[in-house]
């Protein structure tokens, strides 16, 4: 297997982009990535696109072809991959495999989702398709309800508090206020979160990631070629993915994401590192409780201690472990298919020292953690800078 590196990244401004569609946002992100990688475009020989629900949201499938067409990259192979909100992470993994296998030498990996101004406004219902349609969504269990069940159970088992969950949102807005591509550019207070409208008790509006439009792109090459090509290639030193039951009610535990535990163990082994070696991590905080479970499942804090750690500031910029420096799904926004790729974009920026006002000192090893549904899919990547 060949070693794989990221040589260029870019993203569109995340937000409510009422006048823009799949093509516009991906072209914006893609052009930036091509420019960043100093490519002409002719080197690109394969494309993957992660997107969750364009069929339900805008009536368009075949997004691989749509993107390769609108980017002027015909006739290279273009494939859409989907694993609900982990579609971006899974696309990155296919790109990694295409390079590692020796089948391709320059792969564009895009993630995108158009969620506002969709015909029918069926966003909640389309997102419900990430869980078990027959046994969850049809019975009324939308995603806030499913994560609310996990939050309640975490509170019961470990004494996690609503204020601890709220502290995650406060920290992520603090980070996103320093990120010009983020959906939310404003800081918030604990009071704002705690007093916000209830969505599914105990989760309130500010515990939930927003509905966002956006795209992100990463360009991959074999590491040896990348070293010749650019000043600071970022090597992907681990790519791991695991699955769990689609429905929450089929699981042994509601307070952990087992697929995350399994995938991260594999990733640590592949990269030959431990949680202590990770300087920055982008975790999948679709709800504040999800970030708390993630930092436990990934081994940064013991199970049940994630809420306290968040409250104590141990996940803030330049603390014990800098979590969601981009602002995460909560602050940066969550265009579902784009999220997994955006996480990689942020980690690359941080490892290169391009994190601007949110730059973490001495960031050498970074991780991305992308979850589909309530944890039926989890994808982990670990990246490292040279030297």
Known catalytic residues?
85, 334
Task: Write out the binding residues for a second copy, residues 362-381 only, by CB under 8 A.
Answer: 372-373, 376-377
Cβ at position 322, least distance to a second copy in Å:
28
Sheet arrangement for strand 107-113? 46-50, 107-113, 214-222, 4-11, 234-243, 377-385, 365-372, 280-282, 322-323
When asked if residue 132 is in the footprint of a second copy (CB under 8 A), the reply is yes
135: Cα separation from own chain's centroid: 26
| Site string (193-232) toward a second copy, x via CB under 8 A | ----------------------------------------
Number of residues that bind a second copy (CB under 8 A): 65
Instruction: Please report the beta strands in 88-147, taking only residues with DSSP state E, as ranges in sequence order.
Output: 107-113
When asked if residue 55 is in the footprint of a second copy (CB under 8 A), the reply is yes
Cβ at position 137, least distance to a second copy in Å:
7
When asked if residue 26 is in the footprint of a second copy (CB under 8 A), the reply is no
Strands 46-50 and 198-200: unpaired
CB-based contact 324:316 (threshold 8 Å)? no
Kindly state the DSSP code that residue 359 receives in the 8-state scheme.
Answer: P
Using DSSP's 3-state secondary structure scheme, residue 110 falls into strand
| C-alpha pair distances (Å), 346 with each of 86, 231, 318 | 16, 18, 15
When asked if residue 129 is in the footprint of a second copy (CB under 8 A), the reply is yes
When asked if residue 286 is in the footprint of a second copy (CB under 8 A), the reply is no
Residue number, 94 or 322, with CB nearest to a second copy: 94
Q: What span, in angstroms and rounded, lies between the C-alpha atoms of 152 and 353? A: 39
Among 26, 90, 151, 193, binds a second copy (CB under 8 A): 90
Cβ at position 89, least distance to a second copy in Å:
10
Integer-rounded Cα radius of gyration of the chain: 19
Task: Write out the binding residues for a second copy, residues 252-271 only, by CB under 8 A.
Answer: 258-259, 262
What are the residues binding a second copy (CB under 8 A)?
Answer: 1, 21, 52-56, 58-66, 68-69, 73-84, 90, 93-94, 97-98, 100-103, 125-126, 128-134, 137, 240-247, 250, 258-259, 262, 372-373, 376-377
């Amino acid at each position: 297997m060949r070693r794989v590196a990221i040589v260029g990244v870019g993203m569109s401004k995340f937000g409510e982009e009422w006048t823009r569609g799949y093509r516009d946002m991906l072209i914006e992100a893609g052009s930036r990535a091509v420019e960043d990688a100093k490519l002409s475009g002719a080197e690109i020989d394969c494309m993957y696109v992660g997107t969750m629900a364009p069929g339900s949201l805008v009536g368009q499938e075949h997004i691989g072809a749509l993107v390769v067409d609108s980017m002027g990259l015909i006739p290279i192979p273009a494939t859409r991959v989907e694993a609900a909100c982990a579609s971006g992470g899974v696309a990155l993994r296919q790109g990694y495999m295409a390079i590692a296998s020796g089948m391709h030498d320059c792969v564009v990996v895009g993630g995108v989702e158009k969620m506002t101004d969709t015909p029918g406004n069926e966003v909640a219902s389309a997102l419900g398709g990430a869980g078990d349609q027959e046994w969850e969504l049809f019975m009324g269990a939308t995603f806030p309800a499913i994560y609310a069940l996990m939050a309640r159970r975490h509170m019961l088992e470990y004494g996690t508090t609503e204020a601890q969950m709220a502290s995650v949102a406060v920290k992520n807005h603090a980070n996103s206020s320093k990120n010009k591509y983020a959906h939310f550019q404003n800081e918030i207070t604990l009071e704002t979160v705690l007093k916000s409208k209830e969505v599914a008790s105990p989760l309130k509006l500010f515990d939930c990631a927003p509905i966002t439009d956006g795209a992100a792109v990463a360009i991959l090459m074999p590491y040896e070629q990348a070293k010749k090509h650019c000043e600071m290639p970022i090597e992907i030193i681990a790519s791991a993915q695991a699955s769990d039951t689609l429905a929450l009610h089929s699981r042994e535990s509601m307070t952990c994401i087992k697929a995350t535990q399994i995938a991260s163990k594999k990733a640590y082994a592949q990269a030959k590192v431990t949680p202590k070696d990770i300087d920055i991590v982008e975790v999948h905080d679709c709800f504040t409780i999800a970030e708390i479970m993630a930092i436990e499942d990934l081994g940064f804090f013991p199970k049940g201690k994630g809420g306290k750690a968040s409250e104590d500031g141990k996940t803030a910029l330049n603390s014990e472990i800098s979590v969601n420096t981009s602002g995460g799904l909560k602050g940066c926004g969550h265009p579902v298919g784009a999220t997994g790729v955006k996480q990689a974009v942020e980690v690359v920026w941080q490892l290169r020292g391009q994190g601007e006002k949110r730059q973490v000192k001495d960031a050498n090893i970074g991780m991305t953690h992308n979850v589909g549904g309530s944890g039926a899919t989890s994808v982990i990547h670990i990246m490292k800078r040279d030297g």
